[in-house]
């Protein structure tokens, strides 16, 4: 039986054709899979190719498929117009790497023109050879093809990114990590008798397709490479069995969401009767997860109905409604009104309203303290304002009054919703989900974490989290372990950045420390993360006034559009609603159309997206302008002025810094950061 495979180079080349051309290619691909020996297929052997197993297959008068054909297999590797397809094939060969044992698609060195000299990096010594001290066998152990060893040994910091596209991805990753001072572990060579296509590094670029339906999914979503090909480090985390809760971390762009999606699908496939909840903290992000999940598992009838992708509040709302009746959620304004009224009546409780709101939100409601005894003994983690028993007694009279007011109006808080569900799950009641996968887990609340811990019941594989402490922008830090979630020994980091250029990533990383840790002491190193592609340096500037900034941003956007960016591939991010008008002025100066993004509006084709920073999670653009980074805008002055506890002030500065990091890392190729002088204090960190 002939094995039918597809290469990632084929899906990427298919995506560059017109819609009509793609349709014709797919028809031919289906015919090849159904019967590769059909007389209706026009095979032509490529005599000029070094790899004698390369053949072309006629799609129409001009389009040619390039296939790698052996007696036992057929591999789709490329598609293009006739002459371009032939030239591509003449410069490639598919072979087993002599050291690693992985099957590779290798660019033929002697047929490649001399690599162009890159412009020297001002911070580097262009003549310093990065890998000259490594022996040939050492470099080959990282997947460098033998033909390219001497080019690698001659590479400098200035020329490295010109060289990388010519190498297999595992070699690219290893060289980048070596270049930043890391020592990647070389994979163990595969035994000679093993299938080279079964090697983990080969599976990231070649995939066996079992049937026509699987081929159709791969060809219908050629831009979603992650849905077909998975990095070996990601696959290992996706398919591993865990004895308890597990967490995957990594900086922005390292594929954490991809791991979460594949993990949910894997759990559903491995457990045919199980129901899986794939969730996150916001409705827009949950909607994006649902759309991606649809492309990943489309056509798998036994899977799609058993994975539910929705926000954590949405899932809890539905569960609560089924079990207790539809909850009436108290708004923040209602709670503040009750706090203000109760404080006015209480004796000895002359605390500012912001303090009362924070104490209620972060201590009383978060921990579901329902009596004076529990509040008197409660740990006020992270709170630096000390309270004596007399002060606590006075405060409790306020909070007790608020709880009574909520009951009188038949209102509940989200913490109460999650708390009641957690209590029910803790008593042994099954809530309908066997496994839970949580994306953006750094923004879980204390009540949500306790609910998840109760629902999973400590069973193996029950809870799987992905997130980045450096992107926490909504919730106060707390002890996961105290909530019943212990990920120690089951926390793993991703180090390969697929989304953001080397230049953007390195400057954005300056906003955060190289090592971060959670309340439980689990440490996450941000060092050693590498980006797989190069790009222009970010533009960072200050202007005399808002009009000058808007005009400059407009000129920058117009340049990106002339370079080929579609309007929807450009985003403008600002701190809050108060700065949206400045973004609109920049779009007008660019001569473009703009659309403001919020929780109900998606990216609109033909329009530049304008978004507040806290709504930008999950978004990605080829070019991003982060505007209005002014002195009293970032950090937001009203947040600073509302602080009544020293710990809260630290938290404000930390999350405001995280917001700027999130905004900058939405950019793939081009980043602009600006404000009106003197500018945000954070800009000094970005510029180094």
Distance from C-alpha of 658 to C-alpha of 678, rounded to nearest angstrom: 21
What's the confidence (pLDDT) of residue 526?
79
DSSP-assigned letters across all residues of 199-243: SHHHHTTEEE--SHHHHHHHHH-TT-HHHH---HHHHHHHH---S
Query: What does the block give as tokens for 620?
Result: 């990605």
Where exactly are the structural domains of the chain? Answer: 3-102+195-220, 103-179, 230-324+428-525, 333-411, 536-687
CA nearest to 395, candidates 576, 66, 644, 122 = 644
Distance from C-alpha of 23 to C-alpha of 29, rounded to nearest angstrom: 10
Distance from C-alpha of 85 to C-alpha of 6, rounded to nearest angstrom: 16
Query: What does the block give as tokens for 427?
Result: 């008593």
Architecture of domain 3-102+195-220: 2-Layer Sandwich (3.30)
Sign of CA dihedral 239, 240, 241, 245: negative
Assign a CATH topology to domain 230-324+428-525: Rossmann fold (3.40.50)
Q: What length does the chain have?
A: 688
Orientation angle between helical segments 414-426 and 312-324, nearest 10 degrees: 70
What's the confidence (pLDDT) of residue 111?
47
DSSP-assigned letters across all residues of 415-452: HHHHHHHHHHHHTT---S-SEEEESSGGG--HHHHHHH
CA nearest to 226, candidates 78, 11, 25 = 11
One fold for both 3-102+195-220 and 536-687? no
DSSP symbol at 482: G
| Helix spans in 383-541 (H) | 389-408, 414-426, 446-456, 502-509
- E strand segments, 25-125: 43-45, 54-58, 63-70, 73-81, 92-96, 103-107
CA nearest to 74, candidates 57, 62, 49, 88 = 57
Can you tell me which residue has the tokens 């691909």?
A: 29
Distance from C-alpha of 319 to C-alpha of 133, rounded to nearest angstrom: 61
pLDDT for 537-576, tens place per residue?
999 999 999 999 999 999 999 999 999 999 999 999 999 9
Distance from C-alpha of 457 to C-alpha of 463, rounded to nearest angstrom: 9
CA nearest to 313, candidates 281, 277, 289, 290 = 281
How deeply is 295 buried, as exposed, middle or buried, from its count of CB atoms within 10 A (0-12, 13-18, 19+)?
Answer: middle
CA 368 from chain centre, in angstroms, equals 32
Can you tell me which residue has the tokens 């980006």?
A: 531
What's the confidence (pLDDT) of residue 124?
42
Give the phi and the psi of residue 572 in degrees, each rounded to 5. Answer: -120, 125
Cβ(595)–Cβ(610) below 8 Å: yes
Distance from C-alpha of 68 to C-alpha of 91, rounded to nearest angstrom: 14
Distance from C-alpha of 388 to C-alpha of 128, rounded to nearest angstrom: 63
Neighbouring-strand partners of residue 69 = 74
What's the confidence (pLDDT) of residue 425?
93
CA nearest to 456, candidates 480, 477, 440, 489 = 480
pLDDT for 20-59, tens place per residue?
999 999 999 999 988 888 877 899 999 999 999 999 999 9
- E strand segments, 494-556: 496-497, 515-517, 523-525, 530-531, 539-543
What's the confidence (pLDDT) of residue 180?
83
CA 566 from chain centre, in angstroms, equals 22
Cβ(504)–Cβ(665) below 8 Å: yes
Cβ(396)–Cβ(375) below 8 Å: yes
Q: What burial letters (b/e) apply to 18-52, b meaning 16+ CB within 10 Å? A: eeebbeebbebbeebbeebeeeeeeeeebeebbbe
378 three-state secondary structure: coil
DSSP-assigned letters across all residues of 269-300: HHSTT--EEEEESSHHHHHHHHHHHHHHHTT-
The Cβ-side half-sphere exposure at 438, using a 13 Å CA radius, reads: 30
pLDDT for 62-106, tens place per residue?
999 999 999 889 999 999 999 999 999 999 999 999 999 999 999
Sign of CA dihedral 154, 158, 161, 162: negative
CATH number belonging to the domain at 536-687, selected among 3.30.70.260, 2.102.10.10, 3.90.1150.10, 3.40.50.300: 3.40.50.300
Sites in the chain below the pLDDT cut of 70: 1, 110-127, 221-225, 348-349, 381-385, 599-601, 644-645, 647, 688
Q: What burial letters (b/e) apply to 655-676, b meaning 16+ CB within 10 Å? A: bbbbbbbbbbbbbbbbbbbbbb
Q: Report strand pairing: 621-626 vs 530-531.
A: unpaired
How deeply is 119 buried, as exposed, middle or buried, from its count of CB atoms within 10 A (0-12, 13-18, 19+)?
Answer: exposed
């Amino acid at each position: 039986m002939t094995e039918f495979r597809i290469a990632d180079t084929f899906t990427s080349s298919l995506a560059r054709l017109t819609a009509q051309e793609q349709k014709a290619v797919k028809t031919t691909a289906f015919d090849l899979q159904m019967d590769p020996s059909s007389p209706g297929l026009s095979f032509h052997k490529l005599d000029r190719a070094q790899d004698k197993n390369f053949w072309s297959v006629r799609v129409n008068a001009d389009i040619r498929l390039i296939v790698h054909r052996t007696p036992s297999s057929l591999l789709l590797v490329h598609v293009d117009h006739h002459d371009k397809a032939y030239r591509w094939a003449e410069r490639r060969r598919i072979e087993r790497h002599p050291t690693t044992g992985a099957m590779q698609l290798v660019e033929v060195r002697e047929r490649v023109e001399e690599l162009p000299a890159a412009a020297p990096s001002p911070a580097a010594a262009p003549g310093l050879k990065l890998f000259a001290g490594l022996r040939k066998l050492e470099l080959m152990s990282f997947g460098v093809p033998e033909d390219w060893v001497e080019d690698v040994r001659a590479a400098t910091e200035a020329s490295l990114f010109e060289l990388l596209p010519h190498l297999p991805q595992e070699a690219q990753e290893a060289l980048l990590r070596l270049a930043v001072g890391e020592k990647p572990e070389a994979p163990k060579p595969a035994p000679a008798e093993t299938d080279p296509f079964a090697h983990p590094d080969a599976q990231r670029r070649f995939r066996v397709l079992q049937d026509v339906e699987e081929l159709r999914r791969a060809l219908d979503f050629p831009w979603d490479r992650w849905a077909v090909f998975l990095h070996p480090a990601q696959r290992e985390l996706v398919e591993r069995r865990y004895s308890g809760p597990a967490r995957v971390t990594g900086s922005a762009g390292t594929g954490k969401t991809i791991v979460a999606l594949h993990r949910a699908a894997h759990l559903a496939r491995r457990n045919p009767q199980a129901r899986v909840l794939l969730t996150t903290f916001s409705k827009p992000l949950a909607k994006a997860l649902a759309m991606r999940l649809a492309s990943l598992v489309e056509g798998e009838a036994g899977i799609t109905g058993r994975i539910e992708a929705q926000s954590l509040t949405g899932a809890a709302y539905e569960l609560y409604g089924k079990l207790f009746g539809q909850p009436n959620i108290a708004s923040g304004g209602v709670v503040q009104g009750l706090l203000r009224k109760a404080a006015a009546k209480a004796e000895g409780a002359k605390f500012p309203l912001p303090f009362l709101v924070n104490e209620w939100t972060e201590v009383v409601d978060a921990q579901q303290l329902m009596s004076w005894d529990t509040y008197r003994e409660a740990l006020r983690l992270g709170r630096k304002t000390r309270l004596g028993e007399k002060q606590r007694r006075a405060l409790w009279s306020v909070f007790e009054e608020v709880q009574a007011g909520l009951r009188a109006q038949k209102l509940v808080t989200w913490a109460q919703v999650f708390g009641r569900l957690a209590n029910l799950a803790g008593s042994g009641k099954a809530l309908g989900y066997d496994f839970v996968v949580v994306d953006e887990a750094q923004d879980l609340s204390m009540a949500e974490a306790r609910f998840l811990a109760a629902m999973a019941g400590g069973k193996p594989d029950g809870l799987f989290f992905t997130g980045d402490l450096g992107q926490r922008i909504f919730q106060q830090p707390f002890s996961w372990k105290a909530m019943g979630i212990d990920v120690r020994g089951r926390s793993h980091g991703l180090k390969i950045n697929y989304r953001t250029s080397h230049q953007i990533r390195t400057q954005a990383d300056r906003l955060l420390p190289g090592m971060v840790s959670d309340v439980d002491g689990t440490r996450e190193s941000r060092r050693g993360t590498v980006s797989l592609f190069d790009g222009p340096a970010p533009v960072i500037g200050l202007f005399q006034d808002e009009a000058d900034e808007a005009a400059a941003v407009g000129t920058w956007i117009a340049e990106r559009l002339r370079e080929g960016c579609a309007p929807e591939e450009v985003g403008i991010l600002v701190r809050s609603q108060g700065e949206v008008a400045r973004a609109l002025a920049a779009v007008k100066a660019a001569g473009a159309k703009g659309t403001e993004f919020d929780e109900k509006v998606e990216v609109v084709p033909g329009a530049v997206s304008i978004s507040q920073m806290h709504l930008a999670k999950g978004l990605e653009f080829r070019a991003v302008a982060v505007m209005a980074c002014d002195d009293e805008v970032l950090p937001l002055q009203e947040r600073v002025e509302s602080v009544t506890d020293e710990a809260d002030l630290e938290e404000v500065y930390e999350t405001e810094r995280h917001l700027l990091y999130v905004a900058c890392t939405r950019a793939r190729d081009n980043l602009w950061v600006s404000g009106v002088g003197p500018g945000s204090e954070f800009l000094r960190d970005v510029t180094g």
